[in-house]
């Protein structure tokens, strides 16, 4: 046994040594190869770069696609601005030769413990190399190259030159590359005028521009800023008094209020998408000479811009056109000092087809003609309200969607179930927070919400017969030698059945015909639409106004609001709908929705619908005036056949004697005729009456024989006769004055 253990330990030792030798050989060979790589000095010192972006006809998009148009000289920056970055990013910057080996060792240990490459321990020099010479992939080979090139660049430039180049290439979020553009965007001043706390804010952002955004995540930004200030205090760059005064101060943002269309331009959105596709920052895309080919349609872009400008709205706005066949963004425009596609807004009633009506149709829970009681109600401690606190009684699912009535939507969501509804939403590109678990979802009540690309993309599912594929700006990307490096292949997935989708489309066409989007009704094209308005809590003002409309070929989404939540006076059925109308008046679109063969027309009994709010198919005896044509899927047809006009039920009569009169009360139906005979003579005939009726018969003798006949007005041969005898005598007490 001891001999076995001895040999086992020897084998393990040899195995470990072999791994270490192999690893050492790999590291050394990779390092030597990296040392021979040439550093592109033009990339390091270039103050301005541009990316070539093309439309669907391979013509250059004329938006400004420049990156780093402004450059800050190191000599113009204050010492504390430089110190803020050094304290948080690389304390030994002026002492090392490009690499901090102690930090690397510590990071390696932490990475081994976590099992992930979470820490990089990069110096400022290494970050400069990573942002200008290498990709952003987290691999050991790239890290070795980064170390080798960092050592090389330290021999080529002074520390101040390296720091200057670094500060002019790092990304600060919101399209800000370099400290000069960041300073002018966040604080409306040149970088040379930055204060200590402002410098700390910018130094804190660069670790994760999204997580530490001073616009979207102010609490995170404050914590990070204060950490930078603490490190500056520890490094004796600021006094304790300065530290105390700054950590208790608010974020002193002074955003550039000039609405920068480049921030929300089509080309910028495509460039942002390219960063995600390629996994490298925009500056590297420009440096590598990549060419981005998009789905932009020049005419549709022009028509969309004109349609929005014609409404002359005084708030932030965005519009998007999606090619439903190619799953590409044909046009996009945004107007705000913030990046609109990075923001999420409450969708309001525009979420109803996605989470409520679409799933309910697909789960065979409703028909378009299903009756829902619109009344004051509470479901799981949630008490929804209709606009103006107006309630309509029984309404069809079609009407409740077309007119955007809230209570039926909440009730139908309860039929579907919140979790199942969210699954449908996720299949259509909508993301939810873990707290999105209440029936407020039926009305668009989400923790964060959606952006216009997500919401419009979800609606393109309906135009596409129930198939969803995430829409993109980019069609393909080539390198500087025109070699294809990326091609968009839409991955369609089935969300709704074709029959369910057609029924939903038909319901949303009713929104155009007589609902909240009726301003589109004279377009003379087959178009479906939904509006949404998000009100400001405890106010008569609004925060968001939406219209999402689609034909078979294209989806048009419009949003109006303010990303700083300043109220607006617009509603979804007004200005956003008019923008959609203006757009479709300019563009030629004669497409029609696909109708599956399983869609069928059936006649239903309107008497049953009005009286009992149930969907019954007609029999062949019901007259035309009492039938209604509706569309159904062959896979989900009503199972009940109406018995109206095939038999007649006994009328419920209330009878009594009072003041020498026989009193008969009953609820009349307008499709029945009622004849009352007294002693075999017609006393009264009632027809085309609804509601409670009262018949009074004088009792002039001790006994009257009354016959009560009811029959269908349009089918008198089918009737029901009830006979009653009334006795007028003082011998009977009041409760015994009549008998049948």
What is the mean predicted confidence (pLDDT) over 97-116?
64
Contact (Cβ atoms closer than 8 angstroms) between residue 627 and residue 603: yes
Contact (Cβ atoms closer than 8 angstroms) between residue 294 and residue 63: no
The angle subtended at Cα 329 by Cα 588 and Cα 175, nearest 5°, is 135
What is the mean predicted confidence (pLDDT) over 563-582?
95
Residues 647 and 619: their CA atoms lie apart, in Å, by: 11
Residues 192 and 78: their CA atoms lie apart, in Å, by: 6
Residue (of 292, 260, 311, 358) closest to 58 by Cα position: 292
* Enzyme catalytic residues: 89, 349
Neighbours of 305 (CB within 10 A): 18
In CATH, what is the architecture of 654-739? Sandwich (2.60)
Residues 704 and 702: their CA atoms lie apart, in Å, by: 7
Residue 538, pLDDT > 90, answer no
- Helix %, strand %, coil % of the chain (to 5): 40, 20, 40
Report phi then psi at 470, rounded to 5. -60, 120
Residue (of 266, 276, 272) closest to 67 by Cα position: 272
Q: How confident is the model at residue 705 (pLDDT cuts 50, 70, 90)?
A: confident
Structure tokens that stand for 440 in this block: 């407020």
Residues 466 and 463: their CA atoms lie apart, in Å, by: 7
Residues 269 and 334: their CA atoms lie apart, in Å, by: 10
In this predicted structure, what is the pLDDT of residue 465?
97
Residue 730, pLDDT > 60, answer no
Q: How confident is the model at residue 130 (pLDDT cuts 50, 70, 90)?
A: confident
Neighbours of 135 (CB within 10 A): 15
Residue 396, beta-bridge partner list: 371
Q: How confident is the model at residue 171 (pLDDT cuts 50, 70, 90)?
A: confident
What is the mean predicted confidence (pLDDT) over 10-38?
63
**Higher per-residue pLDDT: 74 or 134:** 74
In this predicted structure, what is the pLDDT of residue 703?
79
Residues 142 and 31: their CA atoms lie apart, in Å, by: 10
The continuous run of DSSP H or E covering 546 comes out as strand 542-550
**Higher per-residue pLDDT: 537 or 586:** 586
Residue (of 353, 344, 300, 327) closest to 532 by Cα position: 353
- CATH 3.40.710.10 given to domain 346-450: yes
Mean per-residue pLDDT over the chain, rounded = 87
What is the mean predicted confidence (pLDDT) over 310-327?
96
Contacts of 121 (CB under 8 A, 6+ apart): 100, 103, 104, 106, 107
The angle subtended at Cα 64 by Cα 165 and Cα 317, nearest 5°, is 115
Residue 726, beta-bridge partner list: 704, 738
For residue 251, what is the DSSP state? P
In this predicted structure, what is the pLDDT of residue 108?
59
In CATH, the number for domain 64-247 is: 1.10.3810.10
Residues 684 and 677: their CA atoms lie apart, in Å, by: 7
Q: How confident is the model at residue 20 (pLDDT cuts 50, 70, 90)?
A: low
Report the Cα 258 to chain-centroid distance in Å.
27
What is the mean predicted confidence (pLDDT) over 325-351?
95
In this predicted structure, what is the pLDDT of residue 715?
82
Contacts of 208 (CB under 8 A, 6+ apart): none
Contact (Cβ atoms closer than 8 angstroms) between residue 336 and residue 264: yes
In this predicted structure, what is the pLDDT of residue 215?
86
Residue 150, pLDDT > 70, answer yes
Contact (Cβ atoms closer than 8 angstroms) between residue 368 and residue 396: yes
Residue pLDDT, tens place only, 459-511:
999 999 999 999 999 999 999 899 999 999 999 999 999 999 999 999 999 99
Q: Where are the alpha helices (DSSP H) in 120-278?
A: 124-132, 140-154, 159-167, 179-186, 196-205, 218-234, 240-247, 266-278
Residue 627, beta-bridge partner list: 605
Residue 351, pLDDT > 50, answer yes
In this predicted structure, what is the pLDDT of residue 683?
93
pTM score, whole prediction: 0.81
In this predicted structure, what is the pLDDT of residue 198?
94
Q: How far is CA 8 from CA 2, 17, 20, in A?
A: 10, 14, 18
* Owner of token pair 């139908």: 412
In this predicted structure, what is the pLDDT of residue 739?
36
**Higher per-residue pLDDT: 728 or 569:** 569
Neighbours of 596 (CB within 10 A): 18
Contact (Cβ atoms closer than 8 angstroms) between residue 568 and residue 545: yes
What is the mean predicted confidence (pLDDT) over 383-405?
93
């Amino acid at each position: 046994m001891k001999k076995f253990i001895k040999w086992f330990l020897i084998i393990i030792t040899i195995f470990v040594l072999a791994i270490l030798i192999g690893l050492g050989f790999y590291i050394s060979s990779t390092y030597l190869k990296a040392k021979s790589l040439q550093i592109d000095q033009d990339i390091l010192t270039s103050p301005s770069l541009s990316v070539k972006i093309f439309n669907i006809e391979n013509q250059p998009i004329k938006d400004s696609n420049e990156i780093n148009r402004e450059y800050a000289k190191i000599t113009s920056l204050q010492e504390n601005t430089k110190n803020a970055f050094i304290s948080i990013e690389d304390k030994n910057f002026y002492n090392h030769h490009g690499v901090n080996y102690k930090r690397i060792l510590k990071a390696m240990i932490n990475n081994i413990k976590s099992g992930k490459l979470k820490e990089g321990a990069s110096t400022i020099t290494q970050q400069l190399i990573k942002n200008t010479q290498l990709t952003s992939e987290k691999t050991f080979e790239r890290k070795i190259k980064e170390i080798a090139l960092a050592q090389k660049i330290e021999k080529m430039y002074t520390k101040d030159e390296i720091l200057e180049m670094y500060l002019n290439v790092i990304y600060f979020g919101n399209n800000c590359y370099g400290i000069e553009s960041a300073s002018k965007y966040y604080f409306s001043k040149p970088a040379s005028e930055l204060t200590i706390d402002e410098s700390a804010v910018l130094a804190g952002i660069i670790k994760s521009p999204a997580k530490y955004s001073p616009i979207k995540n102010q609490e995170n930004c404050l914590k990070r800023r204060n950490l930078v200030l603490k490190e500056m205090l520890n490094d004796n760059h600021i006094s304790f008094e300065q530290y105390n005064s700054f950590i208790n101060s608010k974020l002193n943002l002074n955003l550039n209020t000039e609405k920068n269309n480049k921030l929300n331009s089509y080309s910028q959105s495509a460039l942002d998408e390219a960063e995600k596709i390629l996994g490298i920052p925009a500056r590297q895309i420009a440096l590598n000479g990549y060419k981005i080919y998009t789905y932009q349609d020049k005419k549709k872009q022009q028509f969309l811009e004109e349609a929005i400008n014609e409404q002359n709205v005084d708030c932030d706005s965005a519009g998007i056109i999606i090619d439903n066949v190619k799953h590409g963004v044909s046009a996009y425009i945004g107007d705000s000092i913030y990046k609109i596609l990075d923001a999420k807004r409450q969708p309001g009633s525009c979420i109803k087809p996605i989470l409520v009506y679409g799933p309910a149709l697909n789960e065979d829970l409703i028909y378009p003609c299903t009756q829902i009681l619109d009344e004051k109600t509470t479901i799981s401690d949630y008490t929804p309200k209709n606009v103006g606190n107006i309630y309509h009684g029984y309404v069809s699912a079609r009407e409740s969607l077309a007119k955007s009535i809230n209570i039926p939507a909440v009730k139908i969501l309860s039929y579907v179930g919140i979790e199942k509804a969210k699954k449908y939403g996720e299949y259509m590109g909508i993301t939810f927070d873990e707290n999105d678990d209440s029936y407020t979802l039926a009305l668009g009540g989400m923790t964060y919400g959606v952006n216009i690309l997500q919401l419009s993309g979800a609606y393109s599912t309906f135009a596409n017969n129930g198939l969803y594929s995430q829409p993109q700006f980019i069609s393909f990307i080539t390198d500087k030698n025109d070699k294809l490096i990326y091609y968009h292949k839409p991955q369609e997935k089935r969300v709704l059945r074709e029959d369910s989708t057609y029924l939903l489309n038909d319901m949303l066409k009713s929104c155009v015909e007589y609902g909240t989007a009726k301003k589109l009704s004279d377009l003379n094209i087959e178009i479906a639409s939904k509006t949404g308005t998000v009100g400001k809590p405890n106010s008569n003002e609004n925060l968001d106004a939406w219209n999402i409309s689609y034909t078979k070929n294209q989806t048009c989404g419009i949003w109006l609001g303010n990303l700083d939540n300043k109220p607006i006076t617009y509603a979804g059925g007004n200005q956003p709908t008019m923008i959609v109308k203006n757009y479709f008046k300019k563009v030629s679109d004669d497409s029609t929705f696909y109708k599956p063969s399983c869609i069928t027309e059936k006649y239903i009994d309107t008497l049953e619908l009005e009286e009992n709010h149930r969907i019954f198919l007609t029999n062949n005896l019901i007259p035309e005036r009492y039938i209604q044509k509706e569309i159904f899927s062959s896979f989900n047809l009503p199972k009940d056949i109406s018995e109206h006009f095939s038999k007649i039920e006994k009328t419920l009569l209330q009878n009594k004697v009072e003041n020498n009169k026989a009193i008969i009360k009953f609820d009349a139906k307008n499709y029945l005729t009622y004849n009352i005979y007294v002693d075999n003579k017609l006393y009264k005939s009632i027809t085309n009456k609804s509601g409670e009726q009262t018949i009074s018969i004088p009792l002039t003798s001790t006994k009257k024989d009354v016959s009560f006949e009811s029959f269908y007005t349009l089918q008198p041969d089918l009737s029901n006769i009830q006979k009653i005898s009334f006795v007028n005598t003082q011998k009977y007490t009041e409760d015994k004055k009549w008998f049948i």
